[in-house]
Structure 1
Amino acid sequence: MRIGLFISETGVHGSSIDDLVERATWAEANGIDTGWVPHIPWSLDALTALAIVGRETSRIELGTAVVPTWSHHPYGMAQHALTTQAACGGRLAFGIGPSHRNVAENWYGENYDAVIDHVRDYVSVLDACSAAQAEANETNGGPGGMGGTVSFAGDRYTVQSLLDVPGATPVPVFLAALAPLMLKLAGERAAGTITWMCDEHTHSTHVLPRLSAAAEAVGRPTPRVIAGLPVTVCDDIAKGKELAEQKFGMYRHIPNYARMLELGESGSPSEVAIIGNEEQVTERLASYEDSGVTDLAAMTFAVGDDVDERSENAERTRQLLAKLARKNRD
């Protein structure tokens, strides 16, 4: 299992650009496989942030988890993602998703009904843009040197244009897929899925069977399964679960995540979270790998009664994840 972690804060106040670069360079230097950045209103634009980080790193994969589709027209989103891809030298893992009804309707003023139709067309435009970039790369800039041809006509989006971002390569798309139709689409057409609030049982009985069946039906290998999971190393599990409930308990009230909790055996966000000493965290991560998870996107949090204890446990968590990442690659 590849070991990644969020290199940008997901909580209130977010991260500054300097903080982000510091965390990304630490992750790369210590062997972490992927650095993930969320797209949230109280922090940096995810793709722009990764374009900056891409210039400061050379090996680590850089991912968005995830950019709401409603935030950009797909043609504009594709150019943005291709620019980030050029900035990071082809290391972008582009996570997108339709988010939730509240986000679509209240943040962006869009209609969330029949959301799968929106996502299908959205992915089609992104695919057409990646094909145009590949054409431009192969033909010295495409027709007239102004880019490859982008052509798509769907129910939600129609695009007839050109596109060529110098230095870019086609961008792999990862869908935040939890529901059956979304998992089917991810299996058929995406590089993988990004999950949240899914325990081992949910991955092995809900996510993997649908994803792999869809991929097999169209002659593709099963895509990557990237599990977003809260992770902390500490000696007091009860205290860790109490803090996890404070930080992540709200997700049981969000319909998409509530359904994942109902499908699982853990039942609560604090039970989905990976909490314990180094040995216990390592064992729990192995159980997620056994359930079919290919990648960890660790959302770390620090347990402790005072600043010193929290700092110590935060460092324990980072060092364990780095050690496991290096070991898994050996």
Structure 2
Amino acid sequence: MTLDEHDGPDALPRLTDDLRRANDDGFASAWMSHIFGMDALTALAVAGARVPDIEVGTAVVPTFPRHPAALAQQARTTALATGPGRLTLGVGLSHRVIVEDFYGYSFKRPLRHMDEYLSVLLPLLEGRPASFSGETVQAQIRLTGPCESRVPVLLAALGPKMLRLAAERTEGTVLWMTGPATVRDHVVPVITAAAQAAGRPAPRVVCILPVGVTSDPESAYARAATAFRAYGTLPSYRAMIDREGVAGPADLALIGDEDTVAAQLDGLAKAGVTDFVALGFLTGADAVRTRAFLTSLVT
């Protein structure tokens, strides 16, 4: 289950209520995006400290705007707040337009950047010092704060080189705007083979997609087309949409009645998705119906 982005002075209490409801409904995990709203790790530290048991994850924190040591320090603090074994840190490159136009950083050599970034981030998350000097990242640092347990990392990966890096260095990948055929024929074969070659455990494949249970699929599709239109213009997602053989992001949304959406979820599981994360996008009675259906699956 994804956690909604909230605005206003009561944003954190509302987020905490959402997390508590997800936990009470029986969901195994709740995931928060990190775009231009609340800082995901800070928000999860607050909410997760007040709601026990449920896994909390970021999907995903962009790497370019912060040094890996700073991110490791924040993630370890969040893990301390939420308790051992509850936080999963999803990281990703973001997109050229955001990194260069919004933040003013260079997006050159993204694969090298991520490989070098992980060379600092991962040892620090394990409680070890980081000593690394690369082309894009340098660090000679040891964190002194408590580190009760290792913080697992997932890498947002779509292309084959990034998927192999995810398999070789992290626990797996977290996907967005990636359909079942692409998961089955591209993501899972590449990441699984790379993990096997590296002698690592089977990777986790976390798949996030919009879900809408409704008796009016045409209206839901139109809403999805409007809500997710921007993702069809970003090259990395566009490549996955084209690979899937569909026209746009709305075609990847799981839309229909309960039986239709259940069949789509079954297809994703058979494709190799280990964790499905639903992003609700409908309102009113259909939002209630969608939530009830998803809750029925886990209870």
TM-score normalised to structure 2 length = 0.95
Matches within 5 A, 1:154-173: 154-166=134-146, 168-173=148-153
Could you give the per-residue CA deviations for residues 27-46 of structure 1, whole angstroms, max 9, x where no partner exists? 000101111111111x2100
Matches within 5 A, 1:15-34: 16-34=11-29
Q: In 2, Cα distance between the equivalents of 1:185 and 1:325? A: 32
Could you give the per-residue CA deviations for residues 71-94 of structure 1, whole angstroms, max 9, x where no partner exists? 210001100001011111131110
State the shift of 1:297 in Å.
Answer: 1.7
Equivalent of residue 5 in structure 2, options 9, 22, 32? 9
Over 6 Å off, 4+ runs: 12-15
Q: Quote the residue 2:83 is aligned against.
A: 89
Q: Percent identity?
A: 39
Give the residue type in structure 2 aligned to 1:242.
A
Equivalent of residue 173 in structure 2, options 193, 204, 207? 193
RMSD: 1.7
Is the contact made by 1:129 and 1:150 (CA closer than 8 Å) also made in structure 2? yes
Is the contact made by 1:8 and 1:15 (CA closer than 8 Å) also made in structure 2? no
State the shift of 1:25 in Å.
Answer: 0.3
Q: In 2, Cα distance between the equivalents of 1:84 and 1:164? A: 15
Q: In 2, Cα distance between the equivalents of 1:46 and 1:110? A: 21
> What is the aligned length?
298
Matches within 5 A, 1:242-261: 242-261=222-241
Q: Quote the residue 2:97 is aligned against.
A: 102
| Structure with bigger RCO (C-alpha 8 Å, 6+ apart) | 1
Q: In 1, Cα distance between the equivalents of 2:8 and 2:99? A: 23
State the shift of 1:15 in Å.
Answer: 8.2
Give the residue type in structure 1 aligned to 2:205.
V
Q: Quote the residue 2:49 is aligned against.
A: 55
Q: Which 5+ residue runs of structure 1 have no aligned equivalent?
A: 134-147, 303-309
Is the contact made by 2:280 and 2:290 (CA closer than 8 Å) also made in structure 1? yes
Is the contact made by 1:199 and 1:266 (CA closer than 8 Å) also made in structure 2? no
1:317 partnered with 2:297: no
Equivalent of residue 184 in structure 2, options 204, 207, 222? 204
Q: In 2, Cα distance between the equivalents of 1:92 and 1:239? A: 36
State the shift of 1:182 in Å.
Answer: 0.6
TM-score normalised to structure 1 length = 0.86
Q: In 2, Cα distance between the equivalents of 1:216 and 1:15? A: 46
Is the contact made by 1:83 and 1:168 (CA closer than 8 Å) also made in structure 2? no
State the shift of 1:13 in Å.
Answer: 8.1
Give the residue type in structure 2 aligned to 1:324.
L
Q: In 2, Cα distance between the equivalents of 1:88 and 1:323? A: 27
Is the contact made by 2:5 and 2:38 (CA closer than 8 Å) also made in structure 1? no
- Judged with a 3 Å threshold, the aligned counterparts in structure 2 of structure 1 residues 14 and 196 are, in CA distance, closer, same or farther, namely farther
Equivalent of residue 194 in structure 2, options 201, 210, 214? 214
